Chains A and B, each alone.
Chain A
Amino acid sequence: MDFPASMSMEEAFALAEAEAKLNAALQESKARFEQAVLPNRLNEDWRFGRPHKYATALAELLQSDTHTQGEANVQHGGDAAVRLTAEDEDLRQTELLMPTIGSDALLGLHLERFGSGYALYIEENTAEPIHIHYSTAGLYTPSTFIMVAPGVKAEVVEHHEGLGEDAGMFVTRNIQVAEGAELKISLSSNNMARYMCITNIQNMGGAVKHLTRHEGHAWAREETVAETYTEGSDTRLFSANSLSGDNILDQHTRQIHHVGGATSDLLYKNVLDDKSTAIFAGNIYVAPGAHRTDAYQSNRNMLLSEKATVNSLPGLEILADKVRCSHGSASAPMDEEQLFYLLSRGIPQYEAQKLVARGFMDDVLARFNGEA
């Protein structure tokens, strides 16, 4: 390894050490992909998720030679936005190291197709939200990288769009927020036969608000791992989805507190109609020594039809002291009283149901927008 002449001995050692650590992590990660098997019924992280059907189908498409691609666009990106290429080794390594929730083998297949999408290096406050837009009619596997510099306030809007009946997308997202930075990011996706999104949020002392909204997917799986590395970090995860038809939404979250003195909060709400199915499996992990952690998790489901199904697995793993942690999960039909009130005001049944369902979800959006 070559060091610049201006570098002191200590700095050189530190750099060498960091390099050695990274290499070790990369080796470990490579081993992880070599050992990974496609999700099957024994995979705890795919419980209720029918991996033999959906993970297998996605893997088969990823392995097939038809590398159908999609469109990637950025608006208001300015200097911050950089189009990703297959040659970007640093970002490839970032993806190689990202955690999944039971889908290492699928991430391995995604890495083989690495090289499309956008990276945002946000070093100045954003005047307007930066828009990232991915769309496809076939199978598209972009990656998004967002880095927010210390003290910078940023807002990002991401949209993943399906353009045909057969559209499929498998997106990986890495989000790093530095000390004192603020990031408000929303992701909406719609109308795909299959959709998968693995997100890793690394909070180093900033404030992150993350919202996802998925609509009209026959099958969608979201894996979000939010990691807290620095005291004072504040991570808030939101999701609001309205499912209908045969929609399946399979959401998995991890709130990992590596260090103490930080906060994370999660609110995921679904409204389910027709024969739709929602799976929510969340976990709060407070590492040994991560004392004084505040972490909350809440999953709420409103069932509108007798054929709809909800599976909720809210988990906690606490290995530290002076922790305030709670989780809640509730699944229930629409509140009859609210409905009755609207009906008594002359609003037709269908409209009234839509209004109550919207009210149920608006709470999430209000909290994301800081209005509640």
Chain B
Amino acid sequence: MDETPFQMDTRGAFSFPENHKYDAGFGLTEETIDYICDVKGEPDWLRQFRKEALRKFNEMPMPTHWAPAEISGVDFESFRYYLSHGATPSRSWEEVPDDMKRTFERLGVPEQERAFLAGVDAQYDSETAYTNMREELTKKGVIFVNSTEGLKEYEHIFRPWFGKVIPVGDNKFSALNHAAFSGGSFIYVPKGVKLAQPLQAYFRINSESMGQFERTLIIADEGAELMYMEGCTAPQYDSATLHSGVVELVALKGAKIQYVTVQNWSTNVYNLVIQRGLAMEDAEIRWIDCNLGSGLTMKYPAVVLQGPRAKGEVVSISLAHSGQLQDTGARMIHAAPHTTSNIVAKSISIGEGRASYRGEVNVLKGMKGCKNNTECDALLINATSRTDTYPAITVNGNASAVQHEASVSQVDEEMLFYMQQRGLTRAQAMSLAVNGFINDLVKEFPMEYSVELRRLIDLEMEDSIG
């Protein structure tokens, strides 16, 4: 270790004793749903809704066009679908249990720093454990609660958009989430309110074989602007854990939403997340996505460009080391004229890791002046690394322009040689080269995330090369 400037980080490689007040057991049945509804005290319409979704989930086949073959390895019976410390989320920092505070500290988010941030809605297991919102936000009329509370307190705003961007029957995992969802955030930013500071949520999975089915809905009313950040580091466990969230964004006329994710689950986690945004007239949605962890990730952030001149963007970084399949990508549906979209995806495969880009760009019939640009670059570190690119591009009509470029390359030996000659170790040189490869994308992330990201990449390189 002396020869590198990096410190081995053991944060995240730990777990605390499990102490759950509510536990719905393994597998998903009508009884599980009744149990979840009873615990959460949910209205009847939601109970029926969940059961209908469960029926659809059982009926629907596993996806084919949109899935790597490894997805068939998911055994739905082996997961727990609901776990919680209690039905009421903690309100103040003092109320947060001590062991959770320790988890946050090890995550590198000290108490005072969190108070400094605009609002931390940290997820500990399925429920919100800690919610801290600055009064300012409340004054502006911003709603930032967990999804259970959102459905209870703000049904009039939540329900009209509930399952509208990602319908129940969209695919098998959407149905699963609709049936079993708990946790996640509900955010509403009123007309014209522009949030200078980002909203944050830390997600944790801290119970073996526990599925997390967050449901996040963010609505930015006309002219509103916000950035939402979601980061995950999960303790390591033995058996597989299923994470199948649904994130829906609605950007009304002229609104802007940026959604930032840094995902670093341990490799026994299945990370199957559906993220989709609806951009109305002149609205803008950006997904900034970084996948470092989990054994199998399937995540394709999408933007449906529903209003004229709407803009969509996906910036994606993924890193796959041995035992990992990062199947990530982006989808852009141009459903209105003069809409533009941009996709920049970079992936790094290390050891026997496999990183895939799977994308869809669709310019629907009768649309004029739509533009898309897609770039995917892959970097292979070892001889056994694998990378794939599977884009699907559909253009209707002669008034839109779409282009896609992809390239695969290795770290230049000469570059490494040069750096090693200057006294860097091979791991350091490699780490520098990889950081250089994704440098322009890392810049897109908020400051604290880009620092964290670089540090994580350093660690990955050290483990695989050093």
Q: Is the beta-carbon distance between A48 and B394 smaller than 8 angstroms?
A: yes
Interface centre among B386, B393, B405 (most CB of A within 10 A): B393
Interface membership of chain A positions 295-317, coded 1 if the CB is closer than 8 angstroms to chain B and 0 otherwise: 00000010111111111111111
* Chain B contacts with A in 388-437, Cβ cutoff 8 A: 388-410
Q: Is the beta-carbon distance between B399 and A333 smaller than 8 angstroms?
A: yes
CA–CA, A318 to B385, complex, Å? 8
Q: Is the beta-carbon distance between B398 and A311 smaller than 8 angstroms?
A: no
Residue of B nearest to A296 (CB): B407
Interface membership of chain A positions 255-297, coded 1 if the CB is closer than 8 angstroms to chain B and 0 otherwise: 0000000000000000000000000000000001101000000
Q: A315-B390, A316-B388, A324-B409 are in contact. Are A306 and B404 (CB under 8 A)?
A: no
Q: Is the beta-carbon distance between B404 and A323 smaller than 8 angstroms?
A: no
Q: Is the beta-carbon distance between A317 and B388 smaller than 8 angstroms?
A: yes
A301 CB contacts on chain B under 8 angstroms: 395
B384: interface (CB < 8 Å): yes
Decide if the interface of chain B is mainly helix, strand, loop or mixed: strand
CA–CA, A327 to B359, complex, Å? 14
Q: Is the beta-carbon distance between A328 and B394 smaller than 8 angstroms?
A: no
Q: Is the beta-carbon distance between B386 and A319 smaller than 8 angstroms?
A: yes
Q: A323: which of B366, B393, B397, B408 is its contact (CB, 8 Å)?
A: B408
Chain A interface size band reads 35 or more
CA–CA, A321 to B408, complex, Å? 10
Q: Is the beta-carbon distance between B64 and A44 smaller than 8 angstroms?
A: yes
Q: A333: which of B398, B405, B406, B409 is its contact (CB, 8 Å)?
A: B398
CA–CA, A319 to B388, complex, Å? 9
Q: Is the beta-carbon distance between A330 and B403 smaller than 8 angstroms?
A: yes
A304 CB contacts on chain B under 8 angstroms: 398
B404 CB contacts on chain A under 8 angstroms: 312, 314, 327-330
B15: interface (CB < 8 Å): no
Residue of B nearest to A321 (CB): B383
CA–CA, A59 to B406, complex, Å? 37
CA–CA, A320 to B387, complex, Å? 9
B378: interface (CB < 8 Å): yes
CA–CA, A116 to B151, complex, Å? 70
Q: A303-B397, A313-B390, A316-B389 are in contact. Are A328 and B405 (CB under 8 A)?
A: yes
Residue of A nearest to B387 (CB): A318
Q: Is the beta-carbon distance between A309 and B406 smaller than 8 angstroms?
A: no
Q: Is the beta-carbon distance between A318 and B380 smaller than 8 angstroms?
A: yes
* Chain B contacts with A in 57-91, Cβ cutoff 8 A: 64-65
Residue of A nearest to B381 (CB): A321
A325: interface (CB < 8 Å): yes
Q: A308-B397, A318-B408 are in contact. Are A331 and B391 (CB under 8 A)?
A: no
A315 CB contacts on chain B under 8 angstroms: 388-391
Residue of B nearest to A280 (CB): B393
A7: interface (CB < 8 Å): no
B410 CB contacts on chain A under 8 angstroms: 321-323
A326: interface (CB < 8 Å): yes
Q: Is the beta-carbon distance between A310 and B405 smaller than 8 angstroms?
A: no
Q: Is the beta-carbon distance between A311 and B366 smaller than 8 angstroms?
A: no
Q: A291-B383, A311-B394, A313-B393 are in contact. Are A326 and B399 (CB under 8 A)?
A: no
CA–CA, A248 to B378, complex, Å? 33
B contact residues, total (Cβ < 8 Å): 36
B255 to chain A minimum Cβ distance, whole angstroms, is: 30
A372: interface (CB < 8 Å): no
Q: A321: which of B368, B382, B388, B397 is its contact (CB, 8 Å)?
A: B382
Q: A329: which of B384, B391, B408 is its contact (CB, 8 Å)?
A: B391
A1: interface (CB < 8 Å): no
A334: interface (CB < 8 Å): yes
A314 CB contacts on chain B under 8 angstroms: 389, 391, 404, 406
B368 to chain A minimum Cβ distance, whole angstroms, is: 8
CA–CA, A327 to B403, complex, Å? 11
Q: A321-B385, A326-B405, A329-B404 are in contact. Are A303 and B394 (CB under 8 A)?
A: no
A351 to chain B minimum Cβ distance, whole angstroms, is: 18
B58 to chain A minimum Cβ distance, whole angstroms, is: 19
B404 to chain A minimum Cβ distance, whole angstroms, is: 4
Q: A332: which of B382, B388, B389, B403 is its contact (CB, 8 Å)?
A: B403
CA–CA, A324 to B379, complex, Å? 11
A42: interface (CB < 8 Å): yes
Q: A44-B64, A314-B389, A330-B403 are in contact. Are A325 and B398 (CB under 8 A)?
A: no
B391 CB contacts on chain A under 8 angstroms: 312-315, 329
B390 CB contacts on chain A under 8 angstroms: 313, 315
B383 to chain A minimum Cβ distance, whole angstroms, is: 4
Residue of B nearest to A326 (CB): B407
Q: Is the beta-carbon distance between A331 and B402 smaller than 8 angstroms?
A: yes
B4 to chain A minimum Cβ distance, whole angstroms, is: 25
A213 CB contacts on chain B under 8 angstroms: none
Q: A313-B392, A318-B386, A320-B383 are in contact. Are A325 and B407 (CB under 8 A)?
A: yes
CA–CA, A332 to B382, complex, Å? 37
Q: Is the beta-carbon distance between B398 and A328 smaller than 8 angstroms?
A: no
Q: A42-B64, A318-B380 are in contact. Are A325 and B408 (CB under 8 A)?
A: yes
CA–CA, A298 to B348, complex, Å? 23
B393 CB contacts on chain A under 8 angstroms: 310-313, 329, 331
Q: Is the beta-carbon distance between A316 and B401 smaller than 8 angstroms?
A: no
B72 to chain A minimum Cβ distance, whole angstroms, is: 14
Q: Is the beta-carbon distance between B389 and A327 smaller than 8 angstroms?
A: yes
Q: B408: which of A307, A308, A311, A324 is its contact (CB, 8 Å)?
A: A324
Residue of B nearest to A306 (CB): B397
A184 CB contacts on chain B under 8 angstroms: none
A47: interface (CB < 8 Å): yes
B380 CB contacts on chain A under 8 angstroms: 318, 321, 323
Query: Which residues of A come within 8 Å of B, CB atoms?
Result: 42, 44, 47-48, 288-289, 291, 301, 303-334
15 additional A-B pairs beyond A324-B408, A327-B405, beta carbons within 8 Å, are: A48-B394, A306-B397, A306-B398, A307-B397, A310-B396, A312-B394, A314-B389, A315-B391, A321-B383, A322-B410, A323-B408, A326-B405, A331-B402, A332-B403, A333-B400
A-B contact pairs, 19 of them (CB 8 A): A48-B392, A306-B366, A306-B397, A306-B398, A306-B399, A309-B395, A312-B391, A312-B395, A315-B389, A318-B380, A318-B387, A318-B408, A320-B383, A321-B380, A321-B385, A328-B404, A332-B401, A333-B400, A333-B401
